Chain A
Amino acid sequence: MLKLQNISKHFTGKVVLEDINLDIQAGEIVSLLGPSGSGKTTLLNIILGLTQMDHGKIFFDGTDISKLSMKKRGFNIVFQDYALFPNLNAYENIVYGLRNKKGSITKQELQEYIDFLELNPHLTKRIGELSGGQKQRVALARTLVMKPKILLLDEPLSALDGVIKESIKDRIKSIAREFQLTTIIVTHDPEEALTLSDKILIINQGTISQFGTPQEIISQPNNDFVEEFILNQLHIKRNNIYKLFGEKYA
């Protein structure tokens, strides 16, 4: 459904992405996982249409969209810091884009999104009055009501506290299921990527290290990088938790 073909990007002589090929199916949650500077955010911005690529093509449902502007592609993103507008309250933020797209969504549908994200009690609050998790949900609602063809999330959990992280994770999964929405997530946290997504694209220094399901990555790591940096981290975490609870909880 979304197909990336030979995508490359250089910034003033430095290779950021080199020959990326990727197929994403409809309704899948895919994480782009890699250390900082690996090029994952650049790839996300190229899919969104914000950053121009140097080489390669992007196809959506068989049509070449490489030359289409960000607006015309019809994808949408929730930024890491949410980019909510502080001069508007939560509800005004949610319906911000509907002014430009009249009649695209019924009142009832809008209410469904609000209910689904449990935002009813917060609608009249100003952005500064919302907690991190509430802001995240408002930003999700604002993006979802635009009915994007693909939902992009840039580090959606990095600004959240522990408990809320888990609940937002579930929320993202249920959005993808409920609305049959292809979702692409950028993250640097292996645990997040492997527990949240159907497939993971591991990027290192601008190239694909491995693309596969969480099971495939755990059982058949492609190379040293996946083993040392991705799996090793998870092993350390697992051991620490075992130590805390004792082996019987394993």
Chain B
Amino acid sequence: MPKVKPEMRAILVIIFLLFIVFLLLPLAVLLVRSFETSHGFGLVNYQSMFSNKDLFEAIQNSIRVSTMTAIITTILSFTLAYTINCTNLNRSIKAVIKTGILVPMLLPTITYGFAIMYSFGQQGLLTKLFGRPLFEIYGFNGLLIGYMIYTLPASYLLMNNSFQYIDKKMTIVSKLMGDRAIKSFINTSVRPLVGTIGGAFVLSFIMSFTDFGIPASLGGTYNVVATQLYQVMLGALPNFNHGAVIAVLMLVPAMIGVILLNYLEKFNFHYDKMSQIEQIPHKYRDIGMGIISSIVVLCMLSVFVVMFMAPFVNSYPYNLTFTFHHFIDVFQSSDLTRVFKNSIWIAVLTAFFGTFIAYGAAMLNVRSAMKKQTKLLIDILSMITNTVPGMVLGLSYLLFFNESSLKGTFTIIVLCNIVHLFTTPYLMAKNALAKMNPVWETTGELMGDSWIKTVYRVILPNSASTVMEMLSYYFINSMVTISGIIFLVTAETSLVASKIKDLQHFQKYNEIFVLSLLIFISNLFIKLLSDFFQKNRSKHRDKRWLNKKISQREEVL
């Protein structure tokens, strides 16, 4: 472990300053504002908000629809992860399921809403296919579908990750010990995953509870907490103190949720040794799970089909002749191209600086001789960023930076994204850096390098694929986030996700879909680039492994 160098201290100072000014202080101000009244401080705001029937109803609605979403999503994501990890289903079908499930992550949640409208609405694609409207989409049903699509990918990734740490040999042991199918399933798949199943539930709940994009498009008169917060802050009569109260009410369940997530982690089994092993052949299980999982993914993707159709026809669903004119219109509109450029620019800046900060923080945490308390503090800050919902963070910036020159700039949006999305890239970097040889820096120093030089010549090149993953995570998520930035954008700094919200007001759905497609294509491009990079690396690794075997034999001979 290299001694603490001045360069490291400089990075540490930058990181702490960033989190103090752009996380802790704004949140403190938010808390203060929620207690502030025209005559001093008190609980008046809370009292008046609790006696407010609308808000009370919105909270009830949020809890109801989020709970329902969490239950269904947890069951579905378990099913999907089980199919991928515990069956002998054909590899290419597995690959399609694995890829398909992640598609929604490339789109802003507000787009889901419009895709659902165009699929299940009066003139919707799926409505036509079935010959009648399946259900009323505005309100509970629409939100439920939207939230399910939104939470399924994240919940699946969580489950899939845990499934990979289950020792599959246990299934065979259980079978050999004479367990019946159900008992074997419960003992070897469900029981070891209890923590994760609980975690997936909590995660889906928090995500639904705090999302703004879906209720913004589909909520109708069915109020939820996120739309309440928006109305109170940006409605006809903005009330910052009441907004602060709602934000605190949104923050509290999210905080409890994250604490619960960490607590549930303890229930997961930790096998000392992992072994990859053939699954016991079972044709019906494979076919059955394959069909169920395919249907789930197909249903989910079917909602998005319309997004790829509507912008290419003259006037969906009345005039279905092919045309490019919606695209041409968007590209000719200086307003919309500017918005798209803004989004790309913000995403690039966020990716670049965010990765720098997260990588630096991880470097100090796992590859330096900093004090234990300092390291713990970085971890705690990372946890806090994970806890704070985007809308709450954005609102706290609005309150804290209202009088400053940062208001209405790109900088504040980029900083909000960097802080809001910090946890995942930080953990990616920590994980990768911890695995690398701990004496590289010492070796570099003995070879005459400064610390920075070794980082540049050795550490960075050896973690290139992780850096690529971090960049792509920051890029994609800042392209799709709406809840984080909705309170921070102005007419000049408008982004695609927030512009879609405005276009909805003028019922310009073609533009909405064209813009959504542009986001989708940019994100897909970045994702494929990142995947290509990683695959290339692992291919090299395989080749090297083979060559190593050859040289070992040569040496012995």
Contacts and interface: CB of A to CB of B under 8 A. Distances in A.
A81 B446 contact: no
Nearest to B2: A50
Contact of B548 (A70, A99, A129): A129
B458 interface: yes
Interface stretch (A83-91, A204-212, A232-240): A83-91
A90 to B, nearest CB: 11
B555 A133 contact: yes
B447 A96 contact: yes
Contact of A100 (B442, B443, B449): B449
Contacts of A143: 446
B442 to A, nearest CB: 6
Given A125-B547, A128-B545, A131-B552, A79 B461 contact: no
Nearest to A75: B446
Interface string A165-200: 000000000000000000000000000000000000
Interface string A123-156: 0011011111110000000110010000000000
A161 interface: yes
B448 A86 contact: no
B445 to A, nearest CB: 6
Nearest to A78: B443
A81 B540 CA distance: 22
B409 interface: no
A130 B551 contact: yes
A14 interface: no
Interface string B239-275: 0000000000000000000000000000000000000
Contact of A50 (B442, B461, B545): B442
Closest 6 pairs between A and B when the two form their complex, measured CB to CB: A100-B448, A97-B447, A128-B544, A87-B461, A129-B547, A131-B552
Given A100-B448, A146-B446, A83 B440 contact: yes
Given A129-B548, A161-B556, A77 B446 contact: yes
A86 B544 CA distance: 11
Given A70-B445, A83-B440, A134 B461 contact: no
25 contacts: A70-B445, A71-B445, A71-B446, A76-B446, A79-B443, A81-B439, A83-B440, A83-B442, A83-B443, A85-B440, A87-B458, A87-B461, A87-B462, A87-B464, A97-B446, A97-B447, A100-B449, A101-B448, A125-B551, A130-B548, A131-B548, A132-B552, A142-B447, A146-B446, A164-B556
B508 interface: no
Given A83-B439, A87-B458, A128 B541 contact: yes
B555 A134 contact: yes
Contacts of B449: 97, 100
B551 A146 contact: no
Contacts of B462: 85-87
Given A79-B439, A128-B541, A131-B548, A85 B458 contact: yes
A96 B547 CA distance: 23
Contacts of A122: 551
A204 B443 CA distance: 28
Contacts of B555: 131, 133-134, 164
Given A81-B437, A161-B556, A70 B447 contact: no
Contacts of B446: 70-71, 76-77, 97, 143, 146
Nearest to B454: A85
A250 interface: no
Interface of B: 437, 439-440, 442-449, 453, 457-458, 461-462, 464, 540-541, 544-545, 547-548, 551-552, 554-556
A129 B457 CA distance: 20
A86 B462 CA distance: 7
Contacts of A83: 437, 439-440, 442-443
Contacts of B445: 70-71
Contacts of A100: 447-449, 453
Nearest to B461: A87
Interface of A: 50, 70-71, 76-77, 79, 81, 83, 85-87, 96-97, 99-101, 122, 125-126, 128-134, 142-143, 146, 161, 163-164
Contacts of A99: 448
Given A83-B439, A125-B547, 15 more contacts: A70-B442, A70-B445, A81-B437, A85-B440, A86-B462, A87-B458, A97-B448, A99-B448, A122-B551, A128-B547, A129-B547, A130-B548, A131-B551, A132-B552, A164-B555
A120 to B, nearest CB: 14
A86 B552 CA distance: 18
B547 to A, nearest CB: 4
B541 to A, nearest CB: 7
A50 B437 CA distance: 16
A131 B552 CA distance: 5
A71 B448 contact: yes
Contacts of B440: 83, 85
B439 A146 contact: no
Nearest to B544: A128
Contacts of A128: 541, 544-545, 547-548
Q: Looking at A85, A100, A163, which has the most chain B CB atoms within 10 Å of its CB?
A: A85
Q: Looking at A50, A122, A131, A134, which has the most chain B CB atoms within 10 Å of its CB?
A: A131
A154 to B, nearest CB: 9
A71 B446 CA distance: 6
A146 B548 CA distance: 27
A43 B253 CA distance: 53
A80 to B, nearest CB: 9
Q: Looking at B445, B548, B552, which has the most chain A CB atoms within 10 Å of its CB?
A: B548
Contacts of B448: 71, 97, 99-101, 146
B377 to A, nearest CB: 21
A87 B464 CA distance: 10
A97 B458 CA distance: 12
B372 to A, nearest CB: 12
A49 to B, nearest CB: 9
A145 to B, nearest CB: 10
Contacts of B552: 131-132
A131 B440 CA distance: 20
Contacts of B443: 79, 83
B263 to A, nearest CB: 31
A142 B449 CA distance: 14
A185 B445 CA distance: 21
A233 B445 CA distance: 39
A79 B548 CA distance: 21
Contacts of B461: 87
A197 to B, nearest CB: 23
Contact of B556 (A97, A142, A163): A163
Contacts of A70: 442, 445-446
A4 B219 CA distance: 77
